[in-house]
Chain A
Amino acid sequence: MWKWIQAFASPQNFYRISKKIIPWFLYPFIALTLVGLYWGLVIAPIDYQQGESYRIMFVHVPAAWMSMFIYIVLAVSGGIGLIWQIKLANVVAKVSAPIGASFTFLALVTGAVWGKPMWGTWWVWDARLTSELILLFLYLAYMSLGNAFDNPKTASKASSVLAIVGLINIPIIHYSVTWWNTLHQGASVSSVEKIAAPAIHPDMLMPLILMSISFKLLYGALMLMRARDEVLIREQNMRWVKNVIMEDGK
Chain B
Amino acid sequence: MTIAEYFEFLPYGKYAFYIWFSYLVVFITIAILFIRTSSIHKKTFSQLRIKYSRED
A residues neighboring B (CB under 8 Å): 41, 51-53, 55-56, 59-60, 63, 98-99, 102, 105-106, 109-110, 113-114, 116-117, 218, 222, 225-226, 228-229, 232-233, 236, 241-242, 245-246, 248
Contacts and interface: CB of A to CB of B under 8 A. Distances in A.
Of B25, B34, B48, chain A has the most CB atoms within 10 Å of the CB of B48
Contacts of A245: 45, 48-49, 52
Contacts of B45: 232, 245, 248
Given A55-B19, A242-B52, A245-B49, A117 B26 contact: no
Contacts of A53: 12, 15, 18-19
A160 B22 CA distance: 32
Contact of B18 (A105, A116, A226, A242): A116
Interface of B: 4, 12-15, 18-19, 21-23, 25-26, 29-30, 32-34, 36-37, 40-41, 44-45, 48-49, 51-52
Given A53-B19, A56-B18, A232 B48 contact: yes
Nearest to A242: B52
Nearest to A241: B48
A117 B20 CA distance: 13
A106 B12 contact: no
- A-B CB proximity, top 5 nearest: A53-B15, A52-B12, A229-B44, A110-B22, A245-B48
A138 B48 CA distance: 32
Contacts of A41: 23
Nearest to B15: A53
B48 A236 contact: yes
Given A56-B22, A113-B22, 15 more contacts: A52-B19, A59-B23, A99-B33, A102-B29, A102-B33, A113-B18, A114-B22, A222-B33, A232-B44, A232-B45, A233-B44, A236-B48, A245-B45, A245-B48, A245-B49
A114 B33 CA distance: 23
Nearest to B21: A113
Contacts of B34: 222
A60 B52 contact: no
B18 A59 contact: no
A106 B18 CA distance: 14
A222 B18 CA distance: 28
Contact of A106 (B29, B40, B44, B49): B29
A117 B18 contact: yes
A236 B52 CA distance: 9
Contact of A246 (B15, B22, B52): B52
A157 B36 CA distance: 25
A114 B25 contact: no
